[in-house]
Structure 1
Amino acid sequence: MFALELCVIVAVFQVLSPVECRLTEIETACRALRGLVVRAASLLAGGAILLWARPALRDDLRRLSAAGGSRLWPILHGLGLVLIFLPVMLVPQDQLNARFEAVFTGLASGAALAAVAGLFWIMPPGRWLTWLRMHRFAPLSILALALVIPDLAVALEPLWTIDLLSRLTFFAVAVTLSVIGGNVLVQPEIATVGVDGFNVQVASQCSGIEGFALIAGFLTIYAILFRDTLRPLRFWGVVLPLALLASWVFNVIRIAVLVQIGAHVSPDLAINGFHSFAGWLFFTVLALAVLVIVQAVPWLHRRAGAPAETVPPLRQDWVAARIVPFIVFMVSGLVVQAFFADPALGYPLQAAALALALLYFRGAFTALEWRLDPVALGAGALIGLLWIVTAPDPAPGADAAIAGLGGVSLAAWAACRILGTAVLVPVVEEAFFRGYVLTRLDSGTWASRVAAVAVSSALFALLHGRIVAAGAAGVVFALVMLRRGRLADAILAHGLANALIAAVALWRGAWSLI
């Protein structure tokens, strides 16, 4: 969940907002705050590797955190997130840079509150100290190493001056764009390349050194933690060069894709995507993927390379089943926003991603107690009618792109839209908001239950835009689940509500209703 929050923060402030440190009056403070996000990503990844490699650490953490703690911490964590996003909602987009000094206060205080409260939401301070003492504070050394990986990238900045690497990156991008197609412009003398009028300069900073730093840093952490089973000569002699090559190729593809986005989708979106803020997250995911592959190759280990403890498959983890599909939902939405001029046209891709995620966790969801409940169905019908009746008039041309589809294409798109709306989305959203968020906050007392319903419904409302109607729907779905303690009841209510809305949208041809 924290990783998802970090991705959303990156998307909002890197992709969807025109925040540019060099255009603010406090450039140094802005860059420092951006660096904190990079360090947070490195710290999360380093912690994940640590708990993966040391089952004893993970088991003790699970045991100590299972006792629970104050319900104040998740509330404070949510308040911190509100403070982070509040400036974007209150300050006009075109004034964010000019008024960033005031915006900075909300961002910095919100980040600090969300980070501290999130840490103590997992476990109170005393239990964190107990956990560290049990393992002689050894986790701190690995976490500290993860924390300074961004500094490794800074230390490698002199390598940006290596002309050969920069030129190789430039020509590789040019070749990739030529393969993709379009009117490609190549000007080697000024390192400029472009497609159909959108041109960028592939500067030395684009050579992929930051990716090299991430790969090297996380490989080092992995080598330290798995030193008892790892074959060092094979690991450093084979894996490191291949991983660096993969990082460089990934960087070339990233630049080429961003140029295509700038030429055919949104220049602003492409320019924002060049910033290291987003690139660090992509390279972190790549580094973790390399480590997963390394762990699965017996040739690199003295033993089979499996962890000392047999970990149940991810698909059997009920917590993951409630969270991962929602992460897929959010990430696929960002991808559709990036690659489609009208995101509605990309909905079939998002629906396919959700279907695959739910198929992977199908065992967890088929195990739910599925029974038709008249109260749940009645509540769903009520919410569906409320959503339809209170819907604002659609903006002119809101469904123009969909209306422009041909007969077969429109029928296929509509089928995907209805399936996603009435079946896939209710399962994903209810599993996360009611199945995870609400149950995590509900300790059984009336106060905690009211807070759990309020927080989960507020988050649900923020996702859907229409705050009042969506907030009311969230409260109703929460009460439906709490009535018999069945997540399936909330899913059925949500599914019926969405099915009614989808039916009216199909009848009217007003897909913006959904």
Structure 2
Amino acid sequence: MLLDTGNLPAQGGLATWIRYSGSGLVRAVAALFASALIFSQYGILGILAVMRRQPGPVRYHFLAAHMLLMAAFGLLSPHLFAGASSQVSPWVALSWLLSGLSAVIFLGLSLLPASFWLPLLRTVGWGWGWGLAVAAVSTAARPAALAMWKSSSAPTFEFVHFLLRPILPGLTANPLTAEIGTKNFSVFVEPACSGYEGIGLFLIFSTAWLYFFRREYRFPAALALIPAGALLMWVLNALRIAMLILIGHAGADRIAMGGFHSQAGWIAFTSTAILFCVLSRRIQFFQHPSPRSSPVAHGDATQSQAVAAYLMPFLAILAASLVSKAASADFEWLYPLRLLAALAALWHFRKAYGGVDWRFGPAAAVVGLLVAAVWVWTTPAASGARTGLPAGFVAMSGPLQAAWLACRLLSAVITVPIAEELAFRGYLLRRVANPDFESVSWHSFSWLPFVVSTVAFGAMHESRWLGGIAAGAAYALIQMTRGRLGDAVAAHAVTNAALAALVWYTGDWRYW
């Protein structure tokens, strides 16, 4: 995996220092940055307000320097993380480290001038000490936390045993080794399987949700939702392990350890998060009383419908992908579910898109082809010379192969570009600029919305984050330059069509 410090050599030198101290360095930088936000004279909200006002001229030279440094960072990463057995030049490690840190600095200078950052850093005062103390304590406490999590799998193991004992003949369970299953299929309930990762993710989500919508909830009553959701996450994780054993015992061990093993956890988190959002707004015990018939309530309902129209197609694709991946091993044979889910959502909200300008020009095709080239350039290299056709696809009959490819192509060129551009450029880009996102002009440009939507789009592509960031920036720029969402959709569609043609011509499925 790219940027995995476990791949760095341990024979000494700067690369070895990054391997063992890199996480501590990241904690220190994050803690110092948080100190600058919390203890400065501006505060988080003040900084966001200044960034929205966009003082002074646009600093394109700093932005260009940031992009060049990020390109250098991306090019050096494969050489640094080539493998623990390979020798890494100290100049490569130093250049990688400096290019990453410098890219962050130049990004900050492109957003706001040095006349803002320097006074901010000077006013932090003793907050720097708090930041370093937090980083030191978190680093020192990491071994103790890992030791604590080693014992956290025991309750999960016992609960899984309790669930399966009445329904699975021949069940064997060894608490000493944490192995549970049958002669056909068994698993080890490791600490990572105890559910603490999902619980931690839910705690972050629920805390952020209650904070951002704090005016709508009654406290401390609403705080009861957090432990209730965490308990539900733990129960669903145990159910995931039980289902994993049942699927494997039934003979589908490749599906059990393939798609279901990883995707079921995301399904549990997504379901819990949705349930949390719905119930917290439906149960009056947690809500501040407000007249439902007031004009404000009517305006909120209209705004909610607009938000749903922009986000639901994208969320429908995500939900369908979780289901299709969970039922897959090495080949996602249920991929057509994504196409059907997106089409259903787009058809349901079709009347809400009447105000969207879907027109596009030839510049969109040029941008789309350039993004495709960047995507190919930044795609991680395969272990072999080429990644061929998946075995699951080859095993399908000719008509099924044609139908699957047609659905994949229609999804890549039509529904995915529309759904993702509605979510990231139509909604997120304008929502960061103004809570009333529909009032924001399609021509409007501001650094904070641009950076947030671009980085979010890149993060969605996981290991291909660098290409995702470049794509998100290009689609946002052409949308804001032309003032039409149709140009972003067309550019996105051209990118996906070009990648599909490349896959068809070369047989290299890495680009899909």
Which range, TM-score by smaller chain? 0.5 to 0.7
Structure 1 counterpart of 2:235, one-letter code = V
Gaps of 5+ in 1: 1-10, 48-53, 387-393, 445-451
Structure 2: distance between partners of 1:398 and 1:427 = 27
Q: Secondary structure in 2 aligned to 1:405?
A: coil
Q: Could you tell me which residue of structure 1 aligns to residue 79 of structure 2?
A: 90
Query: Equivalences for 1:293-332 in 2 at 5 Å?
Result: 294=280, 297-304=283-290, 313=303, 316=306
Q: Could you tell me which residue of structure 1 aligns to residue 415 of structure 2?
A: 424
| 2:229 paired with 1:243 | yes
Structure 2: distance between partners of 1:408 and 1:98 = 50
Structure 2: distance between partners of 1:180 and 1:376 = 61
Q: Secondary structure in 1 aligned to 2:389?
A: coil
| 2:365 paired with 1:348 | no
Q: Could you tell me which residue of structure 2 aligns to residue 3 of structure 1?
A: none
Cα distance per residue 1:328-383 (max 9 Å; x no partner):
9899889978974444645434545655786798678653434586x579979999
Q: Could you tell me which residue of structure 1 aligns to residue 156 of structure 2?
A: 169
Query: Equivalences for 1:228-267 in 2 at 5 Å?
Result: 231-236=218-223, 238-252=224-238, 264=254
* Equivalent residue pairs, number: 448
Query: Equivalences for 1:100-499 in 2 at 5 Å?
Result: 105=94, 108-124=97-113, 126-127=115-116, 151=138, 154=141, 157=144, 166-174=153-161, 186-193=173-180, 199-203=187-191, 207-208=194-195, 231-236=218-223, 238-252=224-238, 264=254, 290=276, 294=280, 297-304=283-290, 313=303, 316=306, 340-343=328-331, 345=333, 347-351=335-339, 355=343, 366-371=354-359, 398=389, 401-406=392-397, 409-427=400-418, 486-489=484-487, 491-492=489-490, 495=493
Change (3 A) 1:481 1:100: same
Structure 1 counterpart of 2:404, one-letter code = W
Gaps of 5+ in 2: 37-42, 374-384, 433-442, 444-450
Cα distance per residue 1:435-477 (max 9 Å; x no partner):
999999xxx9xxxxxxx9xx99xx9xx9999x9xxx9x99999
Structure 1: distance between partners of 2:271 and 2:90 = 32
Deviation at residue 159 of structure 1 after TM alignment: 10
Cα distance per residue 1:389-445 (max 9 Å; x no partner):
xxxxx96952653242246643542331231133124446777999999999xxx9x
Structure 2: distance between partners of 1:510 and 1:370 = 33
Change (3 A) 1:97 1:197: farther
Q: Could you tell me which residue of structure 2 aligns to residue 71 of structure 1?
A: 60
Deviation at residue 163 of structure 1 after TM alignment: 9.6
Contact in 2 for aligned 1:74/1:121 (Cα 8 Å): yes
Q: Give the alignment's TM-score, normalised by structure 1.
A: 0.54
Change (3 A) 1:186 1:407: farther
Structure 2 counterpart of 1:367, one-letter code = G
Change (3 A) 1:381 1:254: closer
Q: Secondary structure in 2 aligned to 1:189?
A: coil
Structure 1: distance between partners of 2:242 and 2:89 = 31
Q: Secondary structure in 2 aligned to 1:19?
A: helix
Structure 2: distance between partners of 1:63 and 1:314 = 24
Q: Secondary structure in 2 aligned to 1:398?
A: coil
CA RMSD of aligned residues (A): 7.3
Contact in 2 for aligned 1:45/1:284 (Cα 8 Å): no
Deviation at residue 488 of structure 1 after TM alignment: 2.5
Q: Give the alignment's TM-score, normalised by structure 2.
A: 0.54
Structure 1 counterpart of 2:355, one-letter code = A
Structure 1 counterpart of 2:409, one-letter code = I
Structure 2: distance between partners of 1:429 and 1:224 = 27
Deviation at residue 76 of structure 1 after TM alignment: 4.4
Contact in 2 for aligned 1:153/1:213 (Cα 8 Å): no
Contact in 2 for aligned 1:316/1:364 (Cα 8 Å): yes
Q: Secondary structure in 1 aligned to 2:173?
A: strand
Contact in 2 for aligned 1:80/1:112 (Cα 8 Å): no
Structure 1: distance between partners of 2:259 and 2:364 = 42
Structure 2: distance between partners of 1:23 and 1:268 = 31
Q: Could you tell me which residue of structure 2 aligns to residue 447 of structure 1?
A: none
Structure 1 counterpart of 2:159, one-letter code = A
Deviation at residue 242 of structure 1 after TM alignment: 0.8
Query: Equivalences for 1:39-50 in 2 at 5 Å?
Result: none
Deviation at residue 185 of structure 1 after TM alignment: 6.1
Contact in 2 for aligned 1:347/1:417 (Cα 8 Å): yes
Q: Secondary structure in 1 aligned to 2:409?
A: helix
Change (3 A) 1:127 1:98: same
Structure 2: distance between partners of 1:294 and 1:377 = 43
Change (3 A) 1:241 1:263: same
Structure 1 counterpart of 2:395, one-letter code = G
Structure 2: distance between partners of 1:257 and 1:102 = 50
- Percent of counterpart pairs with the same letter? 25
Contact in 2 for aligned 1:316/1:363 (Cα 8 Å): no
Q: Secondary structure in 2 aligned to 1:190?
A: coil
Contact in 2 for aligned 1:247/1:286 (Cα 8 Å): yes
Structure 2: distance between partners of 1:502 and 1:216 = 39
